Amino acid sequence: GLATNVRVQDRRLRRIVKQCQDLPGQFLLEYLDEDGAAVPLTSTDVNSYLRDAAEMDVTAKDFRTWTGTLLATTALAALSSPESERACRHATTEVVREVAAQLGNTPAVARGSYVHPAVIEWFADGSLPERWARASARGSRFLRPEERKLVRVLRAGNRRRRAVPKAA
Protein backbone atom coordinates (compact mmCIF):
# COMPACT_ATOMS: atom_id res chain seq x y z
CA GLY A 1 0.00 0.00 0.00
CA LEU A 2 0.86 3.65 -0.28
CA ALA A 3 2.51 5.07 2.83
CA THR A 4 1.32 8.53 3.79
CA ASN A 5 2.75 10.84 6.41
CA VAL A 6 0.30 13.09 8.19
CA ARG A 7 0.98 15.53 11.02
CA VAL A 8 -1.63 15.15 13.75
CA GLN A 9 -2.04 18.10 16.11
CA ASP A 10 -4.60 16.62 18.49
CA ARG A 11 -2.89 14.78 21.38
CA ARG A 12 -5.80 12.40 21.95
CA LEU A 13 -5.87 11.40 18.30
CA ARG A 14 -2.07 10.93 18.30
CA ARG A 15 -2.41 8.59 21.29
CA ILE A 16 -5.15 6.58 19.54
CA VAL A 17 -3.12 6.32 16.31
CA LYS A 18 -0.07 5.22 18.32
CA GLN A 19 -2.14 2.50 20.01
CA CYS A 20 -3.29 1.33 16.57
CA GLN A 21 0.28 1.27 15.30
CA ASP A 22 1.33 -0.81 18.31
CA LEU A 23 -1.07 -3.60 17.30
CA PRO A 24 0.69 -6.55 15.66
CA GLY A 25 0.79 -6.56 11.86
CA GLN A 26 1.41 -3.88 9.25
CA PHE A 27 -2.00 -2.23 9.02
CA LEU A 28 -2.62 1.12 10.66
CA LEU A 29 -6.34 0.52 10.80
CA GLU A 30 -6.91 -2.66 12.74
CA TYR A 31 -9.17 -3.59 15.59
CA LEU A 32 -9.17 -6.38 18.14
CA ASP A 33 -12.02 -8.83 17.78
CA GLU A 34 -13.77 -10.50 20.71
CA ASP A 35 -10.95 -13.08 20.93
CA GLY A 36 -8.27 -10.37 21.05
CA ALA A 37 -7.00 -11.10 17.53
CA ALA A 38 -5.98 -8.13 15.36
CA VAL A 39 -8.26 -7.78 12.33
CA PRO A 40 -7.34 -5.35 9.53
CA LEU A 41 -9.94 -2.84 8.40
CA THR A 42 -10.13 -3.28 4.63
CA SER A 43 -11.32 -1.00 1.86
CA THR A 44 -14.30 -3.34 1.50
CA ASP A 45 -15.18 -2.67 5.15
CA VAL A 46 -14.86 1.08 4.65
CA ASN A 47 -16.93 1.09 1.46
CA SER A 48 -19.60 -1.07 3.06
CA TYR A 49 -19.80 1.40 5.96
CA LEU A 50 -20.03 4.36 3.55
CA ARG A 51 -22.86 2.69 1.59
CA ASP A 52 -24.76 1.98 4.80
CA ALA A 53 -24.20 5.47 6.25
CA ALA A 54 -25.06 7.29 3.00
CA GLU A 55 -27.88 4.91 2.10
CA MET A 56 -26.63 4.99 -1.48
CA ASP A 57 -23.99 3.31 -3.62
CA VAL A 58 -20.94 5.38 -2.71
CA THR A 59 -17.30 4.43 -2.14
CA ALA A 60 -14.16 6.08 -0.81
CA LYS A 61 -13.15 6.68 -4.46
CA ASP A 62 -16.19 8.91 -4.85
CA PHE A 63 -14.95 11.06 -1.96
CA ARG A 64 -11.44 11.18 -3.46
CA THR A 65 -12.91 12.19 -6.84
CA TRP A 66 -14.99 14.91 -5.20
CA THR A 67 -11.94 16.21 -3.33
CA GLY A 68 -9.69 16.07 -6.40
CA THR A 69 -12.24 17.87 -8.53
CA LEU A 70 -12.83 20.50 -5.84
CA LEU A 71 -9.10 21.15 -5.41
CA ALA A 72 -8.52 21.40 -9.16
CA THR A 73 -11.56 23.62 -9.76
CA THR A 74 -10.75 26.13 -7.05
CA ALA A 75 -7.11 26.33 -8.17
CA LEU A 76 -7.87 26.65 -11.89
CA ALA A 77 -10.75 29.12 -11.36
CA ALA A 78 -8.36 31.39 -9.45
CA LEU A 79 -6.04 31.63 -12.47
CA SER A 80 -6.55 33.96 -15.39
CA SER A 81 -7.66 32.33 -18.63
CA PRO A 82 -4.71 30.81 -20.48
CA GLU A 83 -3.29 32.90 -23.32
CA SER A 84 -2.14 29.91 -25.33
CA GLU A 85 -2.44 26.14 -25.53
CA ARG A 86 1.05 25.86 -24.04
CA ALA A 87 0.12 28.11 -21.09
CA CYS A 88 -3.03 26.04 -20.57
CA ARG A 89 -1.04 22.78 -20.50
CA HIS A 90 1.49 24.28 -18.09
CA ALA A 91 -1.14 25.61 -15.67
CA THR A 92 -3.16 22.40 -15.81
CA THR A 93 -0.05 20.30 -15.21
CA GLU A 94 0.91 22.38 -12.18
CA VAL A 95 -2.58 22.24 -10.67
CA VAL A 96 -2.91 18.50 -11.28
CA ARG A 97 0.52 18.00 -9.68
CA GLU A 98 -0.72 19.86 -6.56
CA VAL A 99 -3.94 17.82 -6.48
CA ALA A 100 -1.95 14.59 -6.83
CA ALA A 101 0.26 15.58 -3.91
CA GLN A 102 -2.80 16.28 -1.76
CA LEU A 103 -4.34 12.92 -2.67
CA GLY A 104 -1.11 10.94 -2.48
CA ASN A 105 -1.24 9.88 -6.13
CA THR A 106 0.74 10.43 -9.28
CA PRO A 107 -0.37 13.30 -11.52
CA ALA A 108 -1.50 10.80 -14.18
CA VAL A 109 -3.74 8.97 -11.71
CA ALA A 110 -5.07 12.22 -10.26
CA ARG A 111 -5.98 13.63 -13.67
CA GLY A 112 -7.34 10.35 -15.04
CA SER A 113 -9.33 9.27 -12.00
CA TYR A 114 -9.88 12.14 -9.58
CA VAL A 115 -10.42 15.37 -11.57
CA HIS A 116 -13.64 15.80 -13.55
CA PRO A 117 -12.59 16.29 -17.21
CA ALA A 118 -15.10 19.10 -17.75
CA VAL A 119 -13.21 21.29 -15.28
CA ILE A 120 -10.07 21.05 -17.39
CA GLU A 121 -12.09 21.62 -20.60
CA TRP A 122 -13.67 24.75 -19.11
CA PHE A 123 -10.28 26.06 -18.03
CA ALA A 124 -8.92 25.41 -21.54
CA ASP A 125 -11.82 27.22 -23.24
CA GLY A 126 -11.55 30.13 -20.77
CA SER A 127 -15.05 29.71 -19.29
CA LEU A 128 -14.15 28.30 -15.88
CA PRO A 129 -13.52 31.58 -14.02
CA GLU A 130 -16.90 32.98 -15.16
CA ARG A 131 -18.73 29.73 -14.37
CA TRP A 132 -17.12 29.73 -10.91
CA ALA A 133 -17.91 33.40 -10.26
CA ARG A 134 -21.58 32.95 -11.29
CA ALA A 135 -22.14 29.88 -9.10
CA SER A 136 -23.86 30.52 -5.80
CA ALA A 137 -22.26 29.34 -2.56
CA ARG A 138 -25.65 29.17 -0.81
CA GLY A 139 -27.20 25.87 0.12
CA SER A 140 -26.70 22.89 2.37
CA ARG A 141 -24.99 23.49 5.69
CA PHE A 142 -23.37 20.08 5.23
CA LEU A 143 -21.18 21.41 2.41
CA ARG A 144 -18.52 24.09 2.49
CA PRO A 145 -19.20 27.16 0.29
CA GLU A 146 -16.70 25.94 -2.35
CA GLU A 147 -18.44 22.57 -2.48
CA ARG A 148 -21.82 24.23 -3.02
CA LYS A 149 -20.33 26.25 -5.88
CA LEU A 150 -18.84 23.11 -7.42
CA VAL A 151 -22.20 21.33 -7.31
CA ARG A 152 -23.77 24.24 -9.20
CA VAL A 153 -20.95 24.51 -11.75
CA LEU A 154 -21.11 20.80 -12.55
CA ARG A 155 -24.92 20.72 -12.70
CA ALA A 156 -25.07 23.75 -14.98
CA GLY A 157 -22.40 22.26 -17.24
CA ASN A 158 -24.25 18.96 -17.35
CA ARG A 159 -27.52 20.70 -18.32
CA ARG A 160 -25.78 22.61 -21.12
CA ARG A 161 -24.23 19.44 -22.50
CA ARG A 162 -27.61 17.71 -22.62
CA ALA A 163 -29.24 20.75 -24.25
CA VAL A 164 -26.85 20.69 -27.23
CA PRO A 165 -28.46 18.68 -30.06
CA LYS A 166 -26.34 15.91 -31.52
CA ALA A 167 -25.21 16.31 -35.11
CA ALA A 168 -26.96 13.96 -37.54
55: alpha, beta or left? (left if phi > 0; alpha if psi -120 to 50): left
Per-residue pLDDT tens for 78-130?
999 899 999 999 999 999 999 999 998 999 999 999 999 999 999 999 999 99
Task: Kindly tell me the sign of the dihedral angle through the C-alpha atoms of 19, 23, 29, 30.
Answer: negative
pLDDT number for residue 23: 62
pLDDT at 68 exceeding the cut of 70: yes
pLDDT at 1 exceeding the cut of 60: no
pLDDT grade for 160, boundaries at 50, 70 and 90: low
Is residue 126 within 8 A of residue 161, CB to CB? The reply is no
Q: 31: part of which helix (H) or strand (E)?
A: strand 30-32
Q: Which residue has the higher pLDDT, 165 or 71?
A: 71
Q: What is the pTM of this model?
A: 0.73
Mean per-residue pLDDT of the chain: 86
How far, in Å, CA of 154 to CA of 142, rounded? 18
pLDDT at 52 exceeding the cut of 70: yes
pLDDT at 33 exceeding the cut of 90: no
